[in-house]
Structure 1
Amino acid sequence: MVEDGRRHPLGDYIAQAAWGSQRTWLVRGSNVSGVDLVQSLWLPEGRVSLAATRLRRESVEQGTSKHVLRGFVEDDYESTVSYNQRARLVEEFHLFLTRMKPGDIVCALSGGLLYVGEITGAVEHVESEDGRSNLRRPVEWESSGHSYDELPEELQQKLSVQQDVVDLTSVQAMVDGLGLSDEQLAEEARDAHGDPSEETPALAARRELVLPEPGEGLAEDLLVHDAAWLREVRDLLWDERQLIFYGPPGTGKTYLAQKLAEFLGGGPEQVKLVQFHPSYAYEDFFEGFRPQEDPETRQVAFRLTAGPLRELADLASSEGNRHVPHFLIIDEINRANLAKVFGELYFLLEYRNRSVRLTYSGDDFALPPNLFVIGTMNTADRSIALVDAAMRRRFAFVELSPRAEPTKGMLRRWLAAKSRDPEPADLLDALNRRIADADFQVGPSYLMKPGVYRDGGLERTWRTKILPLLEEYHYGEDMKVEQRYGLATLRDAIAPPSA
């Protein structure tokens, strides 16, 4: 229903008696053989069309099956287009002829604007002079368009799908709310339902995602010196949606990533962790053909299988979860070949409002707006200087280093909370002052374990955990590691001068 050049979604809802019976479509027409049909034909004449240059007239009938259409297209287009193009035409014609119907909403893009209208009649075949618009449906268009740049991100993702006819029904509520304020939608909800607390789909779709703000309680639990640091990390995630904690071993990168993600997401159910390694690939991370056994025949066959990112993205975008933050933690992110692992998804990390065609399934895919990625990077394993510019551009980087808070004083705060002697913190500080390269300084988590504080535990941990790290650091050098970094040497260094 269109009044005063503006659709009223709740009026359409009443007219059709069931919300689910209406569908929403995108039809591309801004560049049909070099002509913008949206401006020259669709808007002024009230219609939407497909070229269907060679499609025979007798095939044009509401409800024509895809099987029948395939036969017509094979015959009519066999000598002019490739097999893949014919398959695409069959899909487009089937949507336009069979799936679309009067009362559906149709969208078109032109000149940076999204135009919205309602299909008002049956499909027809008209021999156009230029062959650009033979298959037509009448449409009552709104009087003005909506700026593409101001559209919701999920709607932009669907509009970026590279097909001439796209089903937008999954974002129909966002289209229904265009041009209407929250107050107008609430007023129409009251008119339709008589209940001011009733939330329409358009209002629900407009509800913003919320990341809770970390407070002093979380900072105390995580032994972070100041909640302002946690709030800054939260703001970086909100702005960038991808973040990497980097630093030397033992600085609590993975632990902090997990606890922060659980707090921001509302629980461990919204958090998935994977660990990268040199042989990790796209097929492991996103989707690929994997061997699976049939439970009945016991035969093994290769089947398309979703990886952890695809599983979490599907969960985050499912109904009821779209306003719940979900987190993917990638441990040791720099140990894999990132271009090989991410594939075309690398593009989506930077352009979250776009979609891509997937390599294996052929689906059009976009990263859900409520999906956040936190990576951890061990700088002793591979220098951060080796990270390519593409990755730097896609992630915010947050250092966790013994030379700076919150890591610097973490062990001392932990010892104070446990009412333990501060000597291990003094020893660790003295050790790190002797290590010139910050990427190889030793983090506090080595000394934040119960075993360290049993009889002989500190000496055992120093001998079997910390000194081997420093042996690796000084490999090939004429350095007596025990003499420089051993417990006896460091205890002498921190001992108060004798009177």
Structure 2
Amino acid sequence: MTGNAYAWVDFYSQLADELRAYRTRRTELYAIAKNAYAGAGMGLPKLETDGETVEMDPFTFFALFNRGLTTANRIAIAQKLHDAFALKAPVPHAFAGVPLANNQKTTFYWFKPGRGEHDIDNLWHLFEAALDFADSPNDETRTRFADAFDQVRPQIGIKWNITMGLFWIRPEHYLTLDGRSRWFLCQPECMPKDFINQAKLLFDRNETPHGTDYMHLIDLCRAVLNTGSYEYTTFPELSDKAMSQSEAVNQQNKQRKSQELSGNDTVRRRYWAYRPGPRGELWDECVKDGMMRLGWGDLGNFRSIASRKDIQAQLQHDYPSDTTQTNNSKAIWEFSHIMKPGDVVFAYQGLKPSEILGRGVVKEGYRYDPDREDDHRNARMVDWKNLGIISIDSQVSPRKTLTDISDKIELIRQLDELYADEDTDDTPIVAQESYSRTQFLDDVYMNGQQYDDICAVLQRKRNIILTGAPGVGKTYAAKRLAWSIIGEKDEDRIAMVQFHQSYSYEDFIMGYRPTKTGYELHEGLFYSFCKKAESDPDNAYYFIIDEINRGNLSRIFGELFMLVEADKRGDRYAMPLMYGNEMFSVPPNLYLIGLMNTADRSLAMIDYALRRRFAFIELQPGFDIPGFQKYAASLGNDQFTALVTCVKSLNDTISKDPSLGPGFRIGHSFLCGLTAETATLDTLEGIIRYELAPLIREYWFDETEKAGKWIEQLEESLR
């Protein structure tokens, strides 16, 4: 390891060696950490529920100076630790490539009472096993490390952050898999394809890897770095590159996002203070389930009560009290009708309104759980990203269950600053490949005017159906249309389904499915995607329905068909679902793109209800579009050119045929995807024999002589 930027490696390794002696002297280790902070003029962050920590694990100890602090403060703390342990390595003055713990996730253990009895012991065991394996790698130490890793893996508070802790204690031996590194390791320009495929298998599980899988990835990565094919040859250098490159991408994305939003109306984000039970007793459950819950379950589904005044009256009847129930009725009404996905929630300690438990973002709409046994049957899904108790100078709420604090600008500013570090270790940074109008027109053989018209109609109507003959590229065009409007190839904001005669409301929206023990309510694809779009109101989402006219639309959409109309979107027009006791609406930022093959003889006339709610756009064969002509010229193949000319003549005949018409013309996609090497005579003959000829025979099934004549002409065009 060379260069002053990585001088910290020796310091970190020596510090880890010194910590071995403190496995049974944890109170002393805590005192050292507290004194180091005090010597740097800082107060130690809260590390336990009661405010007094007598337990300390080595990974949390390292996190105390590898978190969101200024470089000056990190150096000052490192100096105190250097003196306390009499380290020989110099105090680092730069920390290139050192990943940081989130300020609200400093500890590697869970606060009491949620922590397991042996959680901190297990962390010490992993720490020692990791040092032994790094310093003396053999089968025995490797197995011991894998077992210790797997023992820690399921503990609350342990995710990908454990790999970051291992990196700190032996930077040259353990690979950090924080969010930035996971993103970097999957970039084609950063690592070879074979490695990326292996890494994605591990990362796509969306769970902390097992010890053997983690070590296998380390071995693969080390082998790649040892080839010398990349500018980074060590794990610290790789981490440094991941941090710098991901930050550059983040800045580009933020700038683009700012440009996209400028001049547009955005949904107002509200801020809420939430008390998870009178004494905070629901907090652990909320974090575990990713939810926030309200009581008063005997009222039933809050959405079924017409007004706040009616809620207040029912509260007074079902929950008799000396109060007027004004605050409670307001909390219930706001929870079920005002709160929106994207809102920010600060959970606070029930008896201590100045003590914040965590920060979350509302992900889904209101839901009622009638099968829950206790009173807390009302819920919303929340992504609790920032955890850890912090104290503020003022009370976040006057001890109410739910309070809208959106107008408390100074309080929000204070809380946002405390929770400013949003690059959590378990959230990978995703940099999507950009995709533009120009790229669309290069990929999809359509003229620019039609593309602009389609985008304008989709924006206005919210729902379109792309129709056309076989092979005009409807499915291919639909996804790329969505990409081009989004501006990048973001698969998370696109969903696709294919309708068929057996497809039902239960598949699409919600319904009961058999299980081993009975029946279970299952959310359909459209319902889930609507909830996803609802949780991200600033971005557009696209739902593509292939073969839309093959399904029984009344059966599939049921009572919700009206809600897809452009002027019937949002909570204002919410309707009760057939299952689930929930009011449901289609969010305004969701766009429907249906696909329909006009040459399908088996289909009945299109339902008028479908025609009224969708705009219909016919896609034409693109043989005369400049993009296709450029593609044909790139093949340099006279036989291909002759075949295209013959297909165009065939299309003229099909268009004039009274029993067929323009909707039956042959599309250009039959002849796409070839290269100069693959556009051979055998390939072109195969396209005619196995793709075009069967279609022509179906078109003129009652005119076999005519069909045979055209098949022969296509074959002759290649001679």
Normalising by the residue count of structure 1, what TM-score does the alignment of the two structures yield? 0.56
Whether 1:215 aligns to 2:437 is yes
Q: How does 1:77-116 map to 2 (within 5 A)?
A: 99-100=328-329
Whether 1:317 aligns to 2:546 is no
**Residue 86 (structure 1) aligns with:** none
**Residue 400 (structure 1) aligns with:** 619
1:60 pairs with one of 297, 320, 323:
320
- SS of 1:329's equivalent in the other structure is strand
- How far the C-alpha of 1:479 sits from its partner, in A, is 3.4
Inter-partner Cα distance in structure 1 for 2:410 and 2:587: 33
1:330 pairs with one of 545, 556, 559:
545
Q: How does 1:453-464 map to 2 (within 5 A)?
A: 453-464=679-690
Whether 1:339 aligns to 2:554 is yes
Contact 1:223–1:413 under 8 Å retained in 2: no
1:425 pairs with one of 636, 644, 651:
644
Letter in 2 for 1:273: M
Instruction: Give the unaligned 5+ runs of structure 2.
Output: 1-267, 277-293, 295-301, 338-364, 367-377, 382-405, 418-433
Letter in 2 for 1:291: P
**Residue 462 (structure 2) aligns with:** 241
**Residue 224 (structure 1) aligns with:** 446
**Residue 356 (structure 1) aligns with:** 575
Inter-partner Cα distance in structure 1 for 2:380 and 2:682: 66
**Residue 468 (structure 1) aligns with:** 694
Inter-partner Cα distance in structure 2 for 1:352 and 1:97: 31
Do the aligned partners of residues 63 and 290 (structure 1) sit closer, same or farther apart at CA in structure 2, a change above 3 Å counting? Answer: farther
Contact 2:700–2:706 under 8 Å retained in 1: no
**Residue 118 (structure 1) aligns with:** none
1:371 pairs with one of 585, 590, 597:
590
Do the aligned partners of residues 216 and 473 (structure 1) sit closer, same or farther apart at CA in structure 2, a change above 3 Å counting? Answer: same
**Residue 480 (structure 2) aligns with:** 259
**Residue 502 (structure 2) aligns with:** 279
Contact 1:274–1:330 under 8 Å retained in 2: yes
- SS of 1:279's equivalent in the other structure is coil
Contact 2:506–2:512 under 8 Å retained in 1: yes
Letter in 2 for 1:397: F
Per-residue CA deviations over 1:168-226 (Å, capped at 9, x if unaligned) read: 999xxxxxxxxxxxxxxxx978766679x99xxxxxxxxxxxxx995334322334332
Higher mean alpha-carbon deviation, 256-265 vs 388-397, is at 256-265
- How far the C-alpha of 1:269 sits from its partner, in A, is 1.6
Alpha-carbon RMSD across the aligned residues, in angstroms, is 4.5
Normalising by the residue count of structure 2, what TM-score does the alignment of the two structures yield? 0.40
**Residue 412 (structure 1) aligns with:** 629
Do the aligned partners of residues 324 and 217 (structure 1) sit closer, same or farther apart at CA in structure 2, a change above 3 Å counting? Answer: same
Contact 1:411–1:425 under 8 Å retained in 2: no
Inter-partner Cα distance in structure 2 for 1:57 and 1:479: 83
- How far the C-alpha of 1:490 sits from its partner, in A, is 6.4
- How far the C-alpha of 1:413 sits from its partner, in A, is 3.6
Inter-partner Cα distance in structure 1 for 2:317 and 2:407: 43
Inter-partner Cα distance in structure 2 for 1:58 and 1:220: 65
**Residue 443 (structure 1) aligns with:** 667
1:289 pairs with one of 512, 531, 536:
512
Instruction: Give the unaligned 5+ runs of structure 1.
Output: 1-9, 30-46, 65-95, 109-156, 159-166, 171-186, 199-211, 293-298
Inter-partner Cα distance in structure 2 for 1:360 and 1:313: 16
Letter in 2 for 1:341: I
Inter-partner Cα distance in structure 2 for 1:272 and 1:474: 36
Letter in 2 for 1:392: R
Letter in 2 for 1:269: D
- How far the C-alpha of 1:99 sits from its partner, in A, is 3.5
Do the aligned partners of residues 168 and 62 (structure 1) sit closer, same or farther apart at CA in structure 2, a change above 3 Å counting? Answer: farther
Letter in 2 for 1:253: K
Inter-partner Cα distance in structure 1 for 2:335 and 2:501: 47
Letter in 2 for 1:61: S
**Residue 199 (structure 2) aligns with:** none
Letter in 1 for 2:633: A
- SS of 1:327's equivalent in the other structure is strand
- SS of 2:512's equivalent in the other structure is strand
Per-residue CA deviations over 1:17-47 (Å, capped at 9, x if unaligned) read: x644699999746xxxxxxxxxxxxxxxxx9
Inter-partner Cα distance in structure 1 for 2:662 and 2:555: 30
What is the count of residue pairs matched by the alignment? 336
Inter-partner Cα distance in structure 2 for 1:237 and 1:381: 25
Inter-partner Cα distance in structure 2 for 1:58 and 1:283: 35
Inter-partner Cα distance in structure 1 for 2:650 and 2:450: 26
Letter in 1 for 2:518: A
- How far the C-alpha of 1:383 sits from its partner, in A, is 8.4
Letter in 1 for 2:701: Y
- How far the C-alpha of 1:301 sits from its partner, in A, is 2.5
**Residue 479 (structure 1) aligns with:** 705
- SS of 2:705's equivalent in the other structure is coil
Inter-partner Cα distance in structure 2 for 1:394 and 1:97: 42
State the percentage of identical aligned residues.
30
Do the aligned partners of residues 323 and 194 (structure 1) sit closer, same or farther apart at CA in structure 2, a change above 3 Å counting? Answer: closer
> More relative contact order in 1 or in 2 (CA 8 Å, sep 6+)?
1
Inter-partner Cα distance in structure 2 for 1:356 and 1:58: 26
**Residue 268 (structure 1) aligns with:** 491
Per-residue CA deviations over 1:233-267 (Å, capped at 9, x if unaligned) read: 22222111111110111000000001122333441
Contact 2:501–2:551 under 8 Å retained in 1: yes
Do the aligned partners of residues 449 and 280 (structure 1) sit closer, same or farther apart at CA in structure 2, a change above 3 Å counting? Answer: same
Do the aligned partners of residues 413 and 339 (structure 1) sit closer, same or farther apart at CA in structure 2, a change above 3 Å counting? Answer: farther
Letter in 1 for 2:563: L
- SS of 1:249's equivalent in the other structure is coil
